[in-house]
Amino acid sequence: MRDGSRRNRSPETIAASYGVASDVAYGAISPPIYLSSTFEFEQFEIPRPYDYGRVGNPSRDLLGETLARLEGGAGSVITSSGMSAVDLLLGQMKPGDHVIAPHDCYGGTMRLLKARSARCGFAVNFVDQSNDVDLYSALKPETSLILVESPSNPLMRVVDIAKVVELARTVEAAVAVDNTFLSPALQQPLALGADYVIHSTTKFLNGHSDVIGGAVVAADSDRALELRTWANVVGSIGAPFDAWLTLRGMRTLFPRMERQQRTAMQLANWLLEHSAVKGVNYPGLPSNPYHALAARQQKGFGAMLSFELADGVEAVKAFLDRLQIFTLAESLGGIESLVSHPATMTHVDMGEDARRSVGISNSLVRLSVGLEDAEELVADLADGLREL
Ligand code: PLP
């Protein structure tokens, strides 16, 4: 393999070149896609490194290795979606176990936790993890997993990962951090002591809104092997073509994140001054309550933000109708700017009461900031907010 594959290379070099020019057949620069579902045995009872595509696939493994190196982990599993990545981890839970999850996590994660815990006999508590007292009181001897989402979706609350790890150690619980909103370019939870990192690779890692995928990276090799074995048992695997596309997207992860977060900061500052806006959730703003923690724990503030309109849901509708560059859609992390309304979209299944109790109001709007010209994005928001 080329230089970019060496252990001591910088994350930028790994993202750009891990596995490049590794093709031994023709010297292809872009790693080939191995679509084959099965592989010929060398001889009777002697398989090659790959025998069956559910167990392993070279294209999927190349993505997994690249991501594991970027996160500083020992190994990873590439799954078919972010949700199946969370579920893969929940597959490690036994009846009687206890899981602590954020009270304001992604709506799909909350739905999955509720459904799995009811079916599989483990308990789950949804807790405000930024509140030490709440977190501490939720801990039990049988707590086996603390799931963290930082920054959280859609309120951009930041959780002190090292502190959660410290608390988790007192009951020997594992800590898994959903790093979807920042990617390893901006945050490395394993370096802060976490045991697992979860990704919806659908988002910033792939970055082009053309793949649904997920990943779990484990800090140590025993946990990585356990997950890989379980992924084979339940068949929770990503497709080779999706893996190839995702790795292609990851080649530009660092410059995308850099540019997108710069624009996000500009938009957050602009929104903060607008009379139609009641509050902006972006940890990059010095006035944000999580600013100091985010500055310490993250390498950047990311390209996601949310804000509340002063005039309620009618104003949200008028604003969304007027936008021309921001597209009303679920998802995030692509090169194109998207806008969403959590109460009726990503977090609808949470129910009104649960949303209200964690602060997701009906007038909250979430932005995923893309690569478009920053001034034109500001102008689009200004058009949307006109007369509000
Ligand atoms: N985790 C977070 C933080 C998310 O925002 C999402 C989806 O929006 C998921 C997990 C689920 O990912 P996927 O849609 O790839 O299943």
Mutate to test the pocket of ligand 1, among 109, 181, 209, 350 (most ligand atoms within 8 A of CB): 109
Confidence of residue 349 (pLDDT cuts 50, 70, 90): confident
251 has catalytic annotation: no
pLDDT of residue 5: 60
Atom of ligand 1 nearest to the CA of 330: 8
What average pLDDT score do residues 213-231 get?
98
143: helix, strand or coil? strand
Tell me, in angstroms, the distance from the centre of ligand 1 to residue 208's CA. Answer: 15
Is 214 near ligand 1, meaning CB less than 6 Å away?
Answer: yes
pLDDT of residue 162: 98
Atom of ligand 1 nearest to the CA of 214: 15
Tell me, in angstroms, the distance from the centre of ligand 1 to residue 85's CA. Answer: 9
Picking from 250, 257, 335, 365, the residue whose alpha carbon sits closest to that of residue 301 is 257
Encode pLDDT of 25-83 as tens digits.
Answer: 999 999 999 999 999 999 999 999 999 999 999 999 999 999 999 999 999 999 999 99
Atom of ligand 1 nearest to the CA of 149: 3
Q: In what order do the strands lie in the sheet with 174-178?
A: 75-79, 214-218, 196-200, 174-178, 143-149, 98-102, 123-127
203 has catalytic annotation: yes
Give percent of the chain above pLDDT 70: 98
Tell me, in angstroms, the distance from the centre of ligand 1 to residue 222's CA. Answer: 26
Encode pLDDT of 282-321 as tens digits.
Answer: 999 999 999 999 999 999 999 999 999 999 899 999 999 9
Mutate to test the pocket of ligand 1, among 200, 205, 304, 330 (most ligand atoms within 8 A of CB): 200
**DSSP letter for each residue of 203-263:** TTTT-SS----EEEEESSHHHHHHHHHHHHHHT----HHHHHHHHHHHTTHHHHHHHHHHH
- Taking CA atoms only, the protein residue closest to ligand 1 atom 11 is 82
Confidence of residue 4 (pLDDT cuts 50, 70, 90): low
Give residue for tokens 């977060």.
261
Q: Which fold has domain 253-385?
A: Aspartate Aminotransferase, domain 1 (3.90.1150)
Structure tokens belonging to residue 133: 């007292």
Picking from 294, 349, 287, the residue whose alpha carbon sits closest to that of residue 182 is 294
pLDDT at residue 2 tops 70: no
Distance CA 5, CA 19 (A): 6
Confidence of residue 381 (pLDDT cuts 50, 70, 90): very high
Q: In what order do the strands lie in the sheet with 364-368?
A: 277-281, 304-309, 364-368, 338-340, 327-328
pLDDT of residue 175: 98
What average pLDDT score do residues 192-217 get?
98
Q: Are 136 and 167 in contact (CB under 8 A)?
A: yes
- Taking CA atoms only, the protein residue closest to ligand 1 atom 13 is 82
Is 106 near ligand 1, meaning CB less than 6 Å away?
Answer: yes
Is the fold of 33-250 the same as that of 253-385?
Answer: no
Tell me, in angstroms, the distance from the centre of ligand 1 to residue 368's CA. Answer: 13
Q: Are 42 and 155 in contact (CB under 8 A)?
A: no
106 has catalytic annotation: yes
pLDDT of residue 358: 87
Alpha helices, DSSP H, located in 2-131? 11-17, 58-71, 82-90, 107-120
Query: What pTM, to 2 d.p., does this model score?
Result: 0.96
Structure tokens belonging to residue 59: 């294209």
132 has catalytic annotation: no
List for the chain the helix, strand, coil content (%; round to 5): 40, 15, 45
Q: Which of 60, 157, 203, 228 is catalytic?
A: 203
Tell me, in angstroms, the distance from the centre of ligand 1 to residue 293's CA. Answer: 23
Mutate to test the pocket of ligand 1, among 106, 155, 157 (most ligand atoms within 8 A of CB): 106
Tell me, in angstroms, the distance from the centre of ligand 1 to residue 90's CA. Answer: 15
Tell me, in angstroms, the distance from the centre of ligand 1 to residue 206's CA. Answer: 13
353: helix, strand or coil? helix
Distance CA 386, CA 378 (A): 12
Where do the domains of the chain lie? 33-250, 253-385
Q: Which of 34, 60, 104, 106 is catalytic?
A: 106
CATH class of 33-250: alpha beta
Atom of ligand 1 nearest to the CA of 213: 15
pLDDT at residue 1 tops 70: no
Is 81 near ligand 1, meaning CB less than 6 Å away?
Answer: yes
Structure tokens belonging to residue 215: 């990943």
**DSSP letter for each residue of 321-339:** HH-SSSEE-S---SSS-EE
What average pLDDT score do residues 17-31 get?
96
Encode pLDDT of 79-131 as tens digits.
Answer: 999 999 999 999 999 999 999 999 989 989 999 999 999 999 999 999 999 88
